[in-house]
Amino acid sequence: MTQKPIALITGGSQGIGYASAVALIEEGFDILSADINGEGVTKAAKELNALAGIECDLGDVAQIEAMFDRIAKDHGPLSALVNNAGVAMPGDFLTYDLADFERVLDINLRGVFIATQRAARMMVEAGIEGAIVNMSSINAQVAIPAIPAYCASKGGVMQLTKVAALALAKNNIRVNAVGPGSIDTEMMAAVNANPDAFKTAMSRTPLGRAGTAQEIGDVVGFLCSKKASYITGETIYVDGGRLGLNYTC
């Protein structure tokens, strides 16, 4: 029996990470899910019949390295990586806490780089023509004053995606990103709970509704599949048409 390719999804306990795992299973992958929420990722892995749910803080270098060592030992090389783990940590620009800024970049950007590097090394050593998908955001392009670190990190993810795509093209490893707009996940809970804020968000979304986690997951699944075999270095924005407008906040 041929072994299925293995995909690792970070931030996989809920929302877009969980939906991405569902999509990758449909594309024929075996799944490894990682999340800082150990109980949540264990539950998600069981529901998905995944290979494992791994507790890992993607802002901690030692934990990321230990996770990849464990994966190499217990499961073998990856064929796909989805860098989905991320945080926003909003605050006022003039008083924004440096520790919060660093925490956001540690998870959203540094963690993405380390995981991408480790996964790519696995693929190159095993001769696997794999796929890496990074979770960016429309905030790589448009800024919101209340989330300075998040916007900076997602702009960095957009550029890191291009750099990695160029560096790994000779190995036929494709690297792309997905840039969600307003998606009905835990990160949007505060907006959903405030009718005025939700109305404002929808006013700058031409399709007039929030997207779903599965609509993002389906794009992730596509980018990891052979259907996207000639796509690399791109960020695909799934935003209900928002970037076609010129509203930034």
Q: Specify which residues 32 forms β-bridges with.
A: 8, 52
Are 26 and 49 in contact by the 8 Å Cβ rule? The answer is no
CA dist., res. 32 & res. 29, Å (int): 10
Assess whether 150 carries a catalytic annotation: yes
Using N-to-C axis directions, what is the helix angle for 148-168 and 98-105, rounded to 10°?
30
Q: Which two tokens stand for residue 164?
A: 């990695």
* Nearest to 174, CA basis, from 137, 224, 209: 224
**Identity of the residue numbered 11:** G
150, 230, 237, 247: the active-site residue: 150
CA 162, CA 153: separation in Å to the nearest integer? 14
CA distance 106 to 85: 11
157 and 134 Cβ atoms separated by less than 8 Å: yes
Active site positions, annotated: 150
